[in-house]
Amino acid sequence: MFHKEGTKTILLGIIFTAAVLLISDNCIDIIWLQKGLQIFAFLILIIILQFFRNPKRNAIIDENQILAPVDGKVVVIEEVYEGEYFKDKRLQVSIFMSPINVHVTRYAMSGIVKFSKYHPGKFLVAWHPKASEENERTTVVVENNTFGAVLYRQIAGALARRIVNYAQEGMQVVQGTDAGFIKFGSRVDLFLPLGTPINVVLNQKAIGGKTIIAIKK
C-alpha cells in the first residue's frame, strides 16, 4: 500500500522508467550502457516506491498512552522551553526519520486539535540544534482529558521539500490515524507536560502508531 501523497511522484517514476527502457532498447546498441541505464531507472523507481509506502497499522486506541507519531530513532529526550504555543517548559521527545523510514505522520493520541500552523523556513539537517526553530515546519496541538495539551512538530530536513499536514483546528482526531506526510524528510518533535512518564530511551527504534512513547498508569 502506498500513501496518497506519492501518487504523482510514483506515476512520474513509472513513466520515467518506461521511457528509459523504451529508449535504451531502441536507441542504444552498447549492451553494458543499455543495461546500466535500465538498472538505474529501476533503482530510482524502487526508491520512490519504498519511500511512499504506507503499511497498514491498526493502532490499539488507549487514552492513557501516547504513541509514536512516526517511524525512526528516538534522538532527544529532554526538558526544554517551548516558545511558540505553551511558552513554558515541556518534555521534548524527538524522532529522526532516515530516508528509508516510512514517512507517514500519525496522531500520537486522540483528542481535539486546538492549534495548527505552518511555518516556512530553512532546510538545515534535521539533527541541527536550530532545526526545530528555523526549518520549514508545522506545529499542531492536540488536547484530551488524560494528557491535556500535547504539541507535535513536523520538521523538514536537508532533503525535505514539502510537509503535508491534515490537522485543522477544531477537528476530532483519532490516535494512530493519518495526520500528514513529510516528503523526503526528517524529524518530528513531541512536547509533553512535565512529569509525563516516558516509555522509550535514546536511540530506540520507534514504529509509528505502535511504539508507546508515554503511558499514564
CA-closest candidate to residue 110, choices 179, 197, 191: 179
- Of 24, 110, 132, 186, which one is the catalytic site residue? 186
Whether residue 186 lies in the annotated active site: yes
> 36 Cβ partners below 8 Å, 6+ apart?
none
**Backbone angle region of 176, left / alpha / beta, with phi > 0 → left and psi within -120 to 50 → alpha:** left
Question: Strand, coil or helix: what is 122?
Answer: strand
Cα torsion angle, 64, 214, 156, 208, sign: negative
- The helix (H) or strand (E) run that includes residue 35 is helix 31-51
CA-closest candidate to residue 169, choices 95, 112, 111: 112
Task: Give how far the C-alpha of residue 85 lies from the chain's centroid of Cα atoms, to the nearest Å.
Answer: 21
- The helix (H) or strand (E) run that includes residue 117 is strand 111-119
Residues tagged active-site:
186
